[in-house]
A = this chain, B = another copy of it.
Amino acid sequence: MRDARSRVVIENVEPEIDGGRFPVKRVVGERVVVEADVFADGHDELACVLCHRAAGEDVWHEVPMRPLLDDRWRGEFQVDEVGRHQYTVQAWVDHFHTWTRDLVRRLAAGQDVTADLQVGATLVAAAAARAEGSAAERLRETARLLTTRRGERAALSRELAALMAAHPDRCHGTRYERELEVQVQRRLARFSAWYEMFPRSAAPELGRHGTFDDVRARLPYVAGMGFDVLYLPPIHPIGRAFRKGANNSVKAGPDAVGSPWAIGGSEGGHRAVHPDLGTLDDFRRLVEEARRHGLEIAIDLAYQASPDHPYAREHPEWFRTRPDGTIQYAENPPKKYQDIYPFDFESPEWRSLWTELRDVVTFWVEQGVRTFRVDNPHTKPFAFWEWLIAGVRRDHPDVILLSEAFTRPRVMYHLAKLGFDQSYTYFAWRNQAWELREYLTELTRTEAREYFRPNFWPNTPDILTEALQTGGRAASALRLVLAATLAASYGIYGPVFELAETTPLQPGREEYLDSEKYEVRHWDLDRPLSLRPLITKVNRIRRQHPALQQDRTLRFLQTDNERLLAYAKTSEDGSDVIVVVVNLDPLWKQAGWVEVPVAPRAGHPPYPAEDLLNGGRYVWRTDGWNYVELDPAVTPAHVMQVRRPLLPEAR
């Protein structure tokens, strides 16, 4: 028999991921809004609190929860420190509240309440016994007062309500059966602009292999555009065996530089730097100098080895062996990738492999790196990542990991649940308005938003979409604005992106011609048609507007032209409202009406809307519908600041 007097049920607590198996994610300064179904038998009033604490704290903090409709309750707290936080819900029957509610009804009906005041006096006296000091004294006095002539007034006083609320009888209360967790990260996990570049292409002179020092010289360029993270593909020695030549050709000449993802050579493996890039000292100097520019250096965690990697000699037990005794290279039958050895995570020696791979992360953390882009995490076991991330976070909770898992939705979401802070997405292939609405609604309105933080990339070294190939510079511009305003985190692979270099290896293939993955390239950053000014402006708007620094408030607006995608974002406190209208057509001017449902005011005067991207102020109508015209030859979008609160959405 459970004690019948524990009458309150607490269920459907949200957010809660997989029955509390995984934490939800927040950044420092963010709120956690918790809702729960809380109810009991009968008609008694309830009281409900949200309990929260930082992991490791002894005491729980309590904040009251308020009833909404249909037995749903809501409360919230703010998280201010990186690390794990916990929360749960408690509730109990509030007999005093029930009593005052009923007393008011009896009095309104003109009933004699003498007996009821005696019942109330018993409740108050019991609270006095739970209280201390002056509160106990006041409660004792009031209990006496209740049975006198002044009882009615005393019963319904605010002071008594406050004193009773402060000394509730919780002995038959219910505590939600689980303690749920929040993984709190620094703000960069939620709001970040990434720039990817190949350091070996960073030399200012044509023909020379770039170095860390060249990247250092490039920092003002990258920081000047307003990026937060500079991500470098693998910086390690590159294998020679089966090295690939230009455009991924199987026969490489003697000068071929190879793919940076074929990690490991005679000069070392995952802890070494490629000698042509410089030394570890040079790298550390780059990290420090970047920090002075407000940039974090992110490196690539690509867990695989070239045949020349020291691991292949020293730890053959970490690889699978073919019947002839050689190490099994990577395959996607019938394709063979003989320059790459995947690790065998089903090896009996998996423990030492795991430990080594975690120590690789720790090594780079010790060099000052706090941000990692993880190559193909979906081809390594889930349990490995959960273990690795937890281990790294124990000493370095501020490490941020971006998951490069272009794979099925369940797998991408599961990696996010395991601890990856950000994830690549399907954004690059979503071009139509309905596709973008559907995908973004999934990311921002379903439970996924609690653990999956999208990072939108219009291009990567592996992804040159058909839309970019065929749409010219205007396509790159519009995809940039979409990425940077739909998602709080986005990134570009430059300088090809800002230079709108969109020639494919073959038409219809997503590979760049003469890809930097296989050669050293040289770029003229000062080309007149560079998107650099647009990018700079967009990043500046992002930094000035809290509305664009989160994804939860995204909502799509109606248009009467399916080539115009319109959406709004509002800062958490509601004060900053940004409306974006993008022309999805890179070739033709598009015009139409967009509904911006603002809160009406007396007299409904029109109000100004300011285009932060192109300048100019428009006078917008309070009936919601406004005319918009966008010529891709001039601008891909309006990014409007609207100084009116938006109406809540109809469900």
Given contacts A7-B345, A42-B378, A118-B323, 6 further A-B contacts (CB under 8 A): A5-B381, A11-B414, A40-B381, A41-B411, A43-B332, A106-B334
**A71 — which chain B residues lie within 8 A by C-beta?**
408-411
Tell me if A108 and B351 are in contact (CB < 8 A).
Answer: no
**A364 — which chain B residues lie within 8 A by C-beta?**
none
Tell me if A379 and B70 are in contact (CB < 8 A).
Answer: no
- A residues 373-407 in Cβ contact with B at 8 Å: 378-384, 386-387
A contact set with B: CB distance below 8 Å:
1-7, 9, 11-12, 18-19, 37, 39-43, 70-71, 102-103, 105-106, 108-109, 111, 115, 118-119, 172, 322-324, 331-334, 345-346, 350-351, 354, 378-384, 386-387, 408-411, 414
Tell me if A410 and B1 are in contact (CB < 8 A).
Answer: no
**A378 — which chain B residues lie within 8 A by C-beta?**
41-42
* 29 sample A-B contacts, Cβ–Cβ < 8 Å, listed by A number: A1-B354, A1-B387, A2-B386, A4-B345, A4-B346, A4-B354, A4-B383, A5-B346, A6-B383, A7-B381, A9-B382, A39-B408, A40-B382, A41-B345, A41-B378, A41-B380, A41-B411, A42-B378, A42-B380, A70-B409, A71-B408, A102-B331, A105-B333, A106-B333, A111-B334, A115-B323, A115-B324, A118-B323, A119-B322
Q: How far is the CA of A260 from the CA of B380 in the complex (A)?
A: 69
**A70 — which chain B residues lie within 8 A by C-beta?**
408-410
**A115 — which chain B residues lie within 8 A by C-beta?**
322-324
Q: How far is the CA of A633 from the CA of B105 in the complex (A)?
A: 48
Q: Provided the pairs A5-B345, A18-B11, A411-B39 are in contact, do residues A119 and B382 lie with their beta carbons within 8 angstroms? A: no
Q: Provided the pairs A115-B324, A334-B111, A382-B7 are in contact, do residues A2 and B39 lie with their beta carbons within 8 angstroms? A: no
Nearest B-chain residue to A378, judged by Cβ: B41
Shortest CB–CB separation between residue A6 and chain B, in angstroms? 7
Report how many copies the assembly holds.
Answer: 2
Nearest 9 Cβ contacts at the A-B interface: A109-B334, A118-B323, A102-B333, A105-B333, A19-B19, A71-B410, A2-B383, A4-B350, A4-B381
Q: How far is the CA of A9 from the CA of B416 in the complex (A)?
A: 14
**A323 — which chain B residues lie within 8 A by C-beta?**
115, 118-119
Shortest CB–CB separation between residue A495 and chain B, in angstroms? 34
Q: How far is the CA of A103 from the CA of B103 in the complex (A)?
A: 81
Shortest CB–CB separation between residue A13 and chain B, in angstroms? 10
Q: How far is the CA of A327 from the CA of B383 in the complex (A)?
A: 62
Nearest B-chain residue to A18, judged by Cβ: B11
Q: How far is the CA of A401 from the CA of B394 in the complex (A)?
A: 53
**A111 — which chain B residues lie within 8 A by C-beta?**
334
The A contact surface, by secondary structure, is: mixed
Q: How far is the CA of A280 from the CA of B524 in the complex (A)?
A: 101
Shortest CB–CB separation between residue A308 and chain B, in angstroms? 22
Nearest B-chain residue to A115, judged by Cβ: B323
**A102 — which chain B residues lie within 8 A by C-beta?**
331, 333
Q: How far is the CA of A584 from the CA of B254 in the complex (A)?
A: 84
Shortest CB–CB separation between residue A119 and chain B, in angstroms? 6
Tell me if A334 and B108 are in contact (CB < 8 A).
Answer: yes
Nearest B-chain residue to A105, judged by Cβ: B333
Q: How far is the CA of A471 from the CA of B74 in the complex (A)?
A: 43
Tell me if B414 and A9 are in contact (CB < 8 A).
Answer: yes
Residue in B41, B103, B351, B384 whose CB lies within 8 Å of A381: B41
Shortest CB–CB separation between residue A97 and chain B, in angstroms? 13
Shortest CB–CB separation between residue A88 and chain B, in angstroms? 15
**A118 — which chain B residues lie within 8 A by C-beta?**
323
Nearest B-chain residue to A95, judged by Cβ: B346
Nearest B-chain residue to A177, judged by Cβ: B21
**A382 — which chain B residues lie within 8 A by C-beta?**
7, 9, 40-41
Tell me if A379 and B414 are in contact (CB < 8 A).
Answer: no
Tell me if A410 and B37 are in contact (CB < 8 A).
Answer: yes
Which residue of A115, A345, A346 has the most chain B CB atoms within 10 A of its CB atom?
A346
Q: How far is the CA of A387 from the CA of B470 in the complex (A)?
A: 68
**A408 — which chain B residues lie within 8 A by C-beta?**
39, 70-71
**A351 — which chain B residues lie within 8 A by C-beta?**
1
Nearest B-chain residue to A331, judged by Cβ: B102
**A12 — which chain B residues lie within 8 A by C-beta?**
18
Tell me if A42 and B379 are in contact (CB < 8 A).
Answer: yes
**A103 — which chain B residues lie within 8 A by C-beta?**
333
Which residue of A37, A172, A410 has the most chain B CB atoms within 10 A of its CB atom?
A410
Q: How far is the CA of A409 from the CA of B115 in the complex (A)?
A: 34
Nearest B-chain residue to A414, judged by Cβ: B9
**A345 — which chain B residues lie within 8 A by C-beta?**
4-5, 7, 41
Q: How far is the CA of A324 from the CA of B109 in the complex (A)?
A: 22
Q: How far is the CA of A250 from the CA of B374 in the complex (A)?
A: 78
Tell me if B7 and A39 are in contact (CB < 8 A).
Answer: no
Shortest CB–CB separation between residue A395 and chain B, in angstroms? 18
Q: How far is the CA of A29 from the CA of B528 in the complex (A)?
A: 75
Q: How far is the CA of A579 from the CA of B70 in the complex (A)?
A: 34
Q: How far is the CA of A382 from the CA of B1 in the complex (A)?
A: 12
